[in-house]
Structure 1
Amino acid sequence: MKGQGFTHRFGYARAGILAAFRRERSMRTHGFALVAVFVFLAATGAPPLWWALVGLAAGLVLVAEMLNTAIETLADHLHPGQHPEIGVVKDVAAGAVLVASLVAVLVGLAYLATLLPGLAA
């Protein structure tokens, strides 16, 4: 697989993104939330800096969720049974998604604070 052209590599990446959305309800939930957040940013006339900050935070959540999915899929394939260390790996990956989500929420709250004069003071 090494040395393949950009088109092939892009196709693999696209297939991975689609697989994550197909397999994981959390990915679909995050994707739906992302669309809702972008609609909200457009409706409130958010400046470009906020689009960038929210986009980075949301992208962080999607990347963490995809890595979590990859780790869980690999762990389940390599060791289908219950194992304490596999459980730790899955918990840590899920924790990464939680941390990324909390960061995204904080960015969202910071933006909301700019919209509500009482909160910004």
Structure 2
Amino acid sequence: MTEQQQKVNGTGLARLKRAVTCSYAGISAAFRNEEAFRQELLLCLVLLPLACWLGQSNVERALLAGSLILVLIVELLNTAVEVVVNRISVDRHELSGLAKDLGSAAVSMAILFAMVVWLLVLFT
């Protein structure tokens, strides 16, 4: 990291504080602006306690909880892609549409993964 980057990002605890602040700002923005994120977060808040209760082992609990958190992570990345595409241009373009579709597909795959994990853990 260059000296200029260290000045901007800080070092040690200052860098950690900045990272936490930026993360909070990103999650807050997603919560305010993205209906899908709010829905998935609500589902996580309901299912995370169930994951801890229904899992028979720590591995099962980790799989159940981790699959839910993965959905939120992928949704945040999808939102980031959409924001960047919209920042570049609001005009319709084949590649812009493809980028957004791929992000949406990634969220769908994360949701499918979570469903498979929950079904396998709870019913096998």
CA offsets per residue over residues 58-82 of structure 1, 9 Å max, x none? 1211111000001101111111111
* Counterpart amino acid of residue 2 in structure 1: N
Question: Which residue of the other structure, out of 86, 99, 108, is the alignment partner of 1:89?
Answer: 99
Gaps of 5+ in 1: 114-119
1:3 counterpart = 2:13: no
Aligned residue among 44, 52, 61 for 1:34: 44
1:116 maps to none
Give 1:44 shift. 3.6
**Among 71, 87, 109, the residue aligned to 1:99:** 109
Matched residues, number: 114
Unaligned runs of 5+ in 2: 1-7
Shift of 1:41: 2.9
Seen in structure 2, the aligned counterparts of structure 1 residues 28 and 51 have a Cα distance that, compared at 3 Å, is same
What residue number does 2:27 align with? 17
Q: Where in structure 2 are the equivalents of 1:59-74 lying within 5 Å?
A: 59-74=69-84
CA–CA distance in structure 1, aligned partners of residues 25 and 108 of structure 2: 25
Deviation at 1:93, TM superposition (A): 0.7
- Identical residues among aligned pairs (%): 30
Secondary structure in structure 2 of the residue aligned to 1:82: coil
User: What's the TM-score once normalised by structure 2's chain length?
Assistant: 0.83
The normalised TM-score by structure 1 is 0.85
Q: CA deviation at 1:111?
A: 2.0
What's the C-alpha RMSD, in Å, of the aligned pairs?
1.6
